Amino acid sequence: MKKLLFVYYSFEGNTQFVVETAAGIKSMDTQRLLPEYEPPKKGLGKFLKGGGSAIKKETPVLKKLVHDPSKYEKLIIGYPIWAGTYPPAVASFLKEYPLNDKKIYLIACSGSGNAKKSFKHMIEELGGNEIIGTLSLKEPKKNKEAAAEQIKEFIKDI
């Protein structure tokens, strides 16, 4: 059994920053989720389509993963908050790669810093696994030093 996989989705680079920071501190494999479609990067459509797709629990097909999550003992799942919850790419991941008996850590990036509802949703979806810890980061790319400290503290015991 392999040790640790950081599975993540990032639309605008914040979660990507978290992954790079974490992987620079601790040995882990990383797996980016690449959905077949995303909202536009700019304009009203970004929030309307993106937020709508999260609320509707859309599950776009994902590019096949390089790392098989079932082979790992522990997983970190990282994602941005969309419309108060996790984004479609994560919904697809949960559907396409059912997890069982894993130790799981959740990291969410958001504009507000409030990820509570998404953690509740994720914990509901991840029954049969042990959710060990959650970390909510507010726009880490804009607050790199403070975020790096929080990430370091969070992953030190993983």
By the criterion CB under 6 A, which residues form the site for ligand FMN? Answer: 10-15, 39, 46-47, 50-51, 80-84, 109-112, 139
Which letter, b or e, does each residue of 118-141 get, where b requires 16 or more Cβ atoms within 10 Å of its Cβ?
bbebbeebbeebebeebbbbbbbb
Dist. CA 91–CA 43, nearest whole Å: 24
Q: Which residue is nearest to ligand FMN (CB)?
A: 50
Question: In the bound complex, what is the minimum distance in angstroms from residue 151's beta carbon to ligand FMN?
Answer: 13
CB of 26 to ligand FMN, least distance (A): 19
Residue closer to ligand FMN, measured from CB, 5 or 85: 85
CB of 101 to ligand FMN, least distance (A): 28
Is residue 115 within 8 A of residue 108, CB to CB? The reply is yes
Strands of the sheet containing 72-80, edge to edge, are 29-32, 2-8, 72-80, 103-110, 130-138
**Least Cβ distance, residue 49 to ligand FMN (angstroms):** 7
Nearer to ligand FMN, 51 or 133 (CB): 51
Among residues 81 and 155, whose Cβ is nearest to ligand FMN?
81
Expressed in angstroms, the distance from the first to the final Cα of the chain is 16
Minimum CB distance to ligand FMN smaller for 60 or for 84: 84
